[in-house]
Each structure stands twice: as C-alpha cells, then as structure tokens.
C-alpha cells in the first residue's frame, strides 16, 4: 500500500504569519485595520476638543471630511511599493493639514526606506517627522481621555483632567514613533540582505559541489588514462617494433614484407589513436583534443585502411554539408562505421562487405553495413557488446538502430541519426521524416534476432 504525505497547513498564529508574509495581504489584514483604528481615535479626540461637544452627538463636517480622507490615506498604502515617494508625500500632507494621526505616513516612510537610502529618503523623512510632531502636538492639547489619545494612555477615568503635554514630551513621542518606523525598515532590509546572501551562498555551494565532482571525475579519468596507457601502450610499441623487424628480415618475400609493413603502420596508427583517446579522456573539452578525434570526413580513409588489410569492400560514401554537422554526431558516426567494419572483419573473415554511408541535411546520417554469414555460423544470434555499444550511441543521439539476418543469410546492420546543425544554426532533422515534408523515410531492417553472439 502506498501512502502519500499530506503537507501540514499552518494553524493559529502560523496562518496569520503566512498571510502577513504576503505584501497585499499584509496591507489589508494589518496596515489597513491599524490605520482605521488610529484614524477613528484621532477624529474622536478632535471632536472632543471642539467647543460645545456632546458625547454621542453628530460629527462635525470637518471631522467627517477628515475621517474619510484618513480612510483614503490608509487605502493609499496599497500603492506604497509602486509609488513610494508620492504616497509618503500624500499621507504626510494629510497629517499636517487635517486633525489626523501620522500612522499612514510612518508606514509609507518605512516602506520607502526599505527600497532606498538617499537624499530623497532623508528629505521625506524630515517631512514625516514634521507631520508626526504636528499631529502629536495637536493631540497633546487635550486634557482628558476623550480629547487626547496620549491622555487616554495615562488613565481610564473620563473625569480625570491633566495639563497638556510639554513640547519636550511631544518631541520625545515624535522621535520614538519615527525611530520605530526606521527600525522596522532597517530590520526588513537586513532580512532581505540576509536572504540574498543565503541565496548567493547556496549558489556558490552548488558551484563548489560541481567543481568537487568535476575534480573527482578528472582524477578518475587520469587514473583510467594511466591504466590504459600502461596496459596497451607497451604492447603496441612491441608490436610495431617486431613488425618492423619482420619487414626488414622478410628478404625477397614481398607478401610478408607488405603484411609486416601493414601491421607496423596499423600499430603506429593505433598508438596515435590511443594518444588522442587518452588526451580526450584527460581533457574532454579541449578544442585541440576534439579536433584530433576522427569524424565522418575520415570515413574514406577508414575504408581504404580496411581494404589494405585484405578485406573486399563495396562502398558508397556520400557526404554533404559536413561543415554544418554537429561534431558529436560526426564523431559518433565515424566510430559506428569503424566498429561495424571491425565486427564484420572479426566474425566474417574473408567475406566481402558492403558499406553505405550517406550524410546530408535532407536525409540525416545513414550507415548500413552488410555481409554474408560464414557457412558454419548460425542464423540466430545475440547482439554482443559491440552492437550493444553501437545501439546505445545511436539511441543517445535520438536515432534508430536495427540489425537482422535476411533469408539469404546476409547480416545487415542499419542506423540512422538526426542531422544536428553545428552551433544550433538550424532545425534538427527527426528520424523517419523528411525535413520539408512529413513523409516517412525509407524503412530500416527489421527487429533484432535473438541467438548467437555478434
């Protein structure tokens, strides 16, 4: 039975913390209620200071206007991130002109400080400070809890009367309110900087991990290259040395001399190939190493070398636009052709081989090799490591691969790979489709046949 973990949803305080983490929700669920409450208290205190005020009476016209403008100032906080300077100016002007509190101006100023710390922010900070002082001074003229918010904080007795707050107390309250706004802004900026620093640290850590993995892979490649060099380099050198000695001592036997010369040449070529492969293993991305790896351009030379070993080959090689073919596809196609010829020479010695290699942007890259089976070889076979490696190469490039023995005991291998433009200068040809038409291409031979090893 499969169980699926249900993500835990925040509850209680976590719900509000998740809501307030979002900018818009923080505006509507936190800032707007605070501003509405402070506006209501400021308007009520203003009404209480008016001559002839009666508790529960009708609100004056100025009080009603101030109340609705205060609501508008609270709603204007919705745009404090898009137009921070304008919102700070508007809310500060409202607190200066009308009997309202400076809470919207302080919130807008704190939001501005999160985004910029310059002369503009300093000037607007001075304006917010003046607006805060003006609003606090007006409120401090009240002498009871009904006429002053700050007197309301001193007592809960409606009949209690106090002297208006001194200018020093008003200055202290103003400084505390402005410092709270600035402190919250600095805290938010610090958290943002910390989050950015953590993001940079994570990116650098990923880079370091990648480099560590690359160093480990490079060390492994160096070890493998050294092992291959020690195992094969000495034997190939001995083979070339003995072939040269045999060529010198062949005397008048021209066939032995030619065979020895061919063995020596192939041994030297194998040494060169080994050196290029070891260089590619040690530095796979080096441009000089990539240039040393054979490509489709070297297929004619490969066929000539195979013919020189005594193999009868009927070949058709048509190569067009190789300068625009991706190097990976071109190198893989050469290795596939090389492996198929080696496979035919090993399993069908003395039997002719037919090779067709065609490459063009219209057809893609097609490689077909066919040869008769030896008389004693069974028709059924199991693909060995050679054919398995070829199939893996072809499929990795998005191509198709088939091998089959037909009714005339002819072993046929066909592969087709898409044409990939060099440096992505054009569209890739998909196997089985013409680049200009959606008509299927020629069919490859049938599916693999199970049986002996090939």
User: Tens of pLDDT along 351-388?
Assistant: 889 999 999 998 899 999 999 888 887 777 767 767 88
Among 341, 258, 391, 282, CA closest to 274 = 282
* 155 and 301 inside one domain: no
Q: Answer whether residue 226 is part of any domain.
A: no
Determine which of 81-85, 139-143, 228-232, 329-333 has the lowest per-residue pLDDT on average.
228-232
* 161 and 304 inside one domain: no
Q: What is the mean pLDDT of residues 61-71?
A: 86
Give the other-Cβ count within 10 Å of 216's Cβ.
10
* 158 and 301 inside one domain: no
Q: Find the CATH number of the domain harbouring 393.
A: 3.30.565.10
Distance separating the N- and C-terminal Cα atoms of the chain: 44
Model pLDDT, residue 371: 92
pLDDT at 293 over 80: no
* 161 and 301 inside one domain: no
Model pLDDT, residue 436: 41
Distance CA 269, CA 259 (A): 15
Q: Answer whether residue 238 is part of any domain.
A: no
Percent of the chain predicted with pLDDT > 70: 79
pTM (predicted TM-score)? 0.47
Determine which of 74-83, 265-274, 417-426, 439-448 has the lowest per-residue pLDDT on average.
439-448
- Looking at the chain, the number of H-run helices and the number of E-run strands are 15, 7
Q: What is the mean pLDDT of residues 327-355?
A: 87
Model pLDDT, residue 3: 47
Q: What is the mean pLDDT of residues 164-191?
A: 89
| Total domains, the chain | 2
* 303 and 452 inside one domain: yes
**Of residues 325 and 247, more confidently modeled:** 325
Last residue of a domain, one of 165, 188, 219: 165
Distance CA 161, CA 151 (A): 9
Model pLDDT, residue 397: 87
Give the other-Cβ count within 10 Å of 104's Cβ.
32
Q: What is the mean pLDDT of residues 156-164?
A: 77
- Answer for the pair 136, 173: CB distance below 8 angstroms, yes or no: yes
Last residue of a domain, one of 165, 198, 221: 165
Among 279, 262, 364, 260, CA closest to 321 = 364
Question: Phi and psi (nearest 5°) for 6?
Answer: -90, 125
* C-alpha Rg value of the chain to the nearest Å: 43
Q: What is the mean pLDDT of residues 244-259?
A: 76
Q: Answer whether residue 242 is part of any domain.
A: no
Q: Answer whether residue 283 is part of any domain.
A: no
Model pLDDT, residue 20: 53
Give the other-Cβ count within 10 Å of 332's Cβ.
22
Cα distances (angstroms) measured from residue 181 to each of 113, 125, 195, 344:
9, 10, 21, 83
Q: Answer whether residue 401 is part of any domain.
A: yes
Q: Answer whether residue 214 is part of any domain.
A: no
Q: What is the mean pLDDT of residues 113-136?
A: 90
When pLDDT is cut at 50, 70 and 90, the band that residue 175 belongs to is: very high
Q: Answer whether residue 177 is part of any domain.
A: no
Range of the domain at 433: 295-454
Q: Answer whether residue 427 is part of any domain.
A: yes
Last residue of a domain, one of 112, 141, 165: 165
């Amino acid at each position: 039975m499969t169980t699926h973990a249900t993500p835990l949803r925040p509850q209680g305080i976590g719900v509000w913390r998740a809501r307030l983490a979002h900018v818009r929700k923080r505006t509507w669920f936190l800032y707007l209620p605070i501003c509405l409450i402070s506006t209501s208290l400021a308007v009520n205190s203003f009404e209480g200071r008016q001559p002839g005020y009666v508790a529960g009476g009708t609100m004056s016209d100025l009080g009603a206007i101030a109340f609705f403008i205060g609501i508008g100032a609270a709603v204007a906080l919705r745009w404090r991130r898009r137009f921070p300077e304008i919102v700070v100016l508007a809310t500060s002007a409202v607190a200066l002109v009308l009997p309202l509190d400076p809470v919207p101006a302080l919130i807008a100023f704190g939001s501005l400080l999160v985004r910029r710390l310059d002369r503009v922010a300093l000037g607007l900070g001075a304006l917010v400070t003046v607006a805060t002082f003006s609003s606090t001074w007006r409120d401090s003229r009240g002498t009871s809890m009904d006429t002053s918010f700050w007197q309301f904080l001193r007592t809960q007795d409606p009949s209690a009367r106090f002297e208006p707050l001194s200018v020093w107390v008003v200055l202290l309250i103003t400084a505390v309110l402005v410092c709270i706004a600035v402190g919250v802004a600095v805290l938010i900026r610090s958290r943002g900087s910390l989050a950015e620093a953590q993001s940079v640290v994570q990116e650098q850590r990923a880079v370091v991990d990648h480099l560590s993995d690359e160093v480990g892979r490079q060390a492994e490649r160096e070890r493998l290259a050294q092992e291959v060099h020690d195992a094969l380099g000495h034997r190939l050198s001995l083979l070339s040395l003995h072939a040269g000695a045999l060529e010198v001592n062949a005397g008048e036997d021209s066939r032995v001399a030619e065979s020895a010369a061919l063995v020596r040449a192939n041994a030297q070529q194998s040494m060169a190939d080994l050196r290029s492969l070891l260089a590619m293993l040690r530095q796979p991305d080096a441009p000089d190493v990539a240039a040393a790896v054979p490509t489709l351009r070297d297929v004619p030379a490969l066929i000539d070398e195979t013919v020189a070993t005594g193999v009868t080959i009927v070949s058709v090689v048509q190569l067009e636009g190789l300068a625009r073919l991706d190097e990976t596809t071109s190198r893989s196609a050469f290795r596939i052709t090389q492996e198929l010829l080696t496979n035919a020479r090993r399993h069908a010695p003395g039997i002719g081989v037919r090779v067709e290699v065609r490459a063009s942007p219209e057809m893609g890259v097609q490689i077909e090799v066919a040869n008769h089976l030896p008389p004693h070889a069974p028709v059924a076979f199991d693909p060995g490591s050679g054919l398995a490696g070829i199939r893996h190469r072809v499929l990795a490039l998005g191509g198709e691969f088939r091998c089959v023995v037909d009714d005339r005991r002819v072993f046929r291998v066909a592969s087709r790979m898409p044409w990939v433009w060099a440096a992505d200068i054009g569209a890739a040809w998909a196997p089985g489709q013409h680049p200009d038409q959606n008509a299927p291409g020629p069919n490859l031979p049938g599916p693999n046949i199970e049986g002996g090893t090939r």
